[in-house]
Amino acid sequence: MPRGDKSTYTDKEKRQAEHIEEGYLERGVSDEEAERRAWATVNKVHGGGEKPGGGGYGKPENHEPMRKGGRRSHGGNA
């Protein structure tokens, strides 16, 4: 499977990446960087594509990366 092939990702993972990318674009991140960060987050959560042949097949989701941004920016050290 060539790099960048999204065939082992579920529709849910693709929707999540789209939604995350939109959030980065709203904050002024370039298109290319927003897409890269979005897929990096999805990979971190799911461990890779969840369909057979993907690295995340049969593994539980880890939602910690989706929470990380809020914790970092709203640390509460005031």
The pLDDT tens digits of the residues spanning 38-72 come to: 999 888 888 777 667 666 676 777 778 777 666 66
Contact 13, 50 (CB under 8 A): yes
Entry pTM? 0.68
Q: Is the pLDDT of residue 74 over 70?
A: no
- The answer to whether residue 30 is domain-embedded is yes
Number of domains comprising the chain: 1
Q: Is residue 37 part of a domain?
A: yes
In a domain? residue 62: no
DSSP 14-62: HHHHHHHHHHHHHTT--HHHHHHHHHHHHHHHHSS--STTSTTTTPPP-
The pLDDT score that the predictor gives to residue 47 is: 79
Q: What is the pLDDT of residue 24?
A: 93
Q: Does residue 19 form part of some domain? A: yes
In a domain, 32, yes or no: yes
Domain that residue 38 falls in: 9-53
Q: Which residue pairs from 15-22 have beta carbons closer than 8 angstroms and sit at least 24 positions apart in sequence?
A: 16/41, 16/42, 16/45, 17/41, 17/42
Q: Is there a domain that residue 76 lies in? A: no
